[in-house]
Amino acid sequence: MIAFDLCCNQDHTFEAWFQDSEAFQEQFSKGLIECPFCGSHHISKLPSPVAVHIKGKHTRKQAGAQTEDVALELLEEAYKFIEKHTEDVGAAFAEEALKMHYGVTEQRSIRGVATEAEEKMLEENGIKFSKIPVPIKKHKSKGH
């Protein structure tokens, strides 16, 4: 069995279980998946949380600590990729996204910050964006 996080065109999110990925694809392609909130058949699959399996024998505490380390490393690597392949527009994120959406400036990959009100406004204008956690940078102190 496999669970997927799904979303309908009315932004209702829900979880659905399938025998396997092929069963999901078959039901999806036939329009058989329905939003339990509104009945919509316009469904999309959302990104799922990452699960990490640590090889070897560990106590639950050791495996938990090791899994956390691996997850943090993966997050840091992903963020390095994002930093390398996007332009940091800082607090002007919403403004720049709007300009690109309406053709005032050229399309490009950007990153930055936005208030909840700005995020809502972007969503209302049909502008898609993703929120990602930013890893905390560890500072090495001298002499320690």
Sign for the CA dihedral angle at 3, 116, 86, 99 comes to: positive
Q: Any idea what DSSP says for residue 135?
A: P
3 state DSSP class of 68: helix
At 117 the pLDDT is 93
In the chain, where do the E strands start and end? 2-8, 13-18, 43-45, 87-90, 110-112
Domain edges within the chain: 2-45, 51-85, 86-134
- 130 vs 111: CA distance, rounded Å: 9
Q: Taking the model in full, what pTM does it have?
A: 0.49
Contacts of 28 (CB under 8 A, 6+ apart): 43, 45
CA distance 27 to 34: 10
Burial class of residue 43, CB neighbours in 10 A (0-12, 13-18, 19+):
buried
pLDDT tens digits in sequence order for the chain, 144 residues long: 788 889 999 989 888 898 888 899 999 999 999 999 999 999 998 876 555 555 665 555 555 556 677 777 887 888 888 889 899 999 999 999 999 999 999 999 999 998 999 999 999 999 988 887 776 665 555 554
